[in-house]
Amino acid sequence: MKITVILADDHQVIRQGLRTLIEQQDDMEVVAEASNGRQAVDMCDDLKPDVVVMDVAMPDLNGIEATRQIANECPSTKVLALSMHADKHYAAGMLGAGAAGYVLKDCAFDELAGAIRRVASGRSYLSADIESVVVRDYVERLSGDGGESVFSVLTDREREVLQLVAEGHTTKQIADGLHVSVKTIESHRQNIMDKLEIRSIAELTKYAIREGLTSLEP
C-alpha cells in the first residue's frame, strides 16, 4: 500500500518538482497539492493522507498554524516540514505544533524520501542542521534564556489574525476569510497589541516576521 502525500508550498514550481520526484518512488503517491496552509488543512480533512510535506512560510495561514490544526483534526496524518529556514523560531514552532519531522529544502531528494517514509511509520526525523538548532533552543529554555515567544503569548486565533494583518489584509478581508464579524477582528487586533505592547501595524509586521509567522516572501 502506497504512502499518500499532500504537498503544501506556495511556489508551484517546487510542488511540481516534488511531485515528479515523489511519484518516481514505488511506495509513494501524491494525492493533492496546496498553495497555502488553509488549503492544506481542508485537504487533510477530506483526504486523510499519511503525510503532508509542509512549507513553513506560506501566505494566508502559515505552516506552523496549519500543522497545529492538522494535528488536532487529523491526528493520523503526519506533517513533515520542508523549509529553507534553519532557524529556531521556525523549527521550534513546527515541532511544537506537532510536526513529526523537519527537513531543509537544500537536502538531497534521497533524504526527503527517507524522511517521508520515517514519519509515515510513526517515527520522527530531523535534518542534521535542525538537530543542532533544536538542541540549542532546548538548552536555552532550560537555562531560562529563551524568553517568551509568540506561541506562549498569543492564542491560536490571535496568531492567525496577526499573520493576516502583517500580510496587509484589511479588517474586513480578515473577518470575511475567518467567517467572523469585523468587531471580532478589531477586538483580536487590540488584544494582540495590548499583549505585545505594540502600537503600530509596522511594528506588528516586524514582530510577525521575527517570530516566523510570515516571511512576506513574494
pLDDT in tens, 188-199: 999 999 998 888
- pLDDT at residue 107, as a whole number: 87
Residue 134 has pLDDT above 70, yes or no: no
Q: Percent of the chain scored above 70 by pLDDT?
A: 90
Q: How far is CA 181 from the centre of its chain?
A: 26
Residue 155 has pLDDT above 50, yes or no: yes
- CA dist 86 and 164 (Å) reads 23
- pLDDT at residue 143, as a whole number: 46
Residue 86 has pLDDT above 50, yes or no: yes
Q: Are 13 and 99 part of one and the same domain?
A: yes
Radius of gyration, alpha carbons of the chain:
17
Give the dihedral sign, CA 180/96/59/112.
negative
- pLDDT at residue 156, as a whole number: 87
Residue 136 has a CB neighbour count (10 Å cut-off) of 12
Q: How confident is the model at residue 176 (pLDDT cuts 50, 70, 90)?
A: very high
Q: Are 169 and 137 part of one and the same domain?
A: no
- pLDDT at residue 149, as a whole number: 67
Q: Give the pairing type, strands 28-34 and 51-54.
A: unpaired
Residue 27 has pLDDT above 60, yes or no: yes
CATH classification of the domain holding 163: 1.10.10.10
Could you tell me if residue 87 is inside a domain?
yes
- CA dist 74 and 63 (Å) reads 15
Q: Among the three residues 141, 158, 190, which one is the final residue of a domain in this structure?
A: 141
Question: pTM for the whole thing?
Answer: 0.74
Question: 205 or 46: whose pLDDT is higher?
Answer: 46
Q: Give the pairing type, strands 3-8 and 125-126.
A: unpaired
User: Which cell goes with 172?
Assistant: 474586513
Could you tell me if residue 218 is inside a domain?
no
Total domains, the chain: 2
Residue 123 has a CB neighbour count (10 Å cut-off) of 12
User: Which cell goes with 56?
Assistant: 513553513
**Whole domain around residue 176: which residue ranges?**
150-210
Q: Where are the beta strands (DSSP E) in 113-204?
A: 125-126
Q: Are 33 and 99 part of one and the same domain?
A: yes
- pLDDT at residue 19, as a whole number: 96
Q: Among the three residues 117, 141, 165, which one is the final residue of a domain in this structure?
A: 141
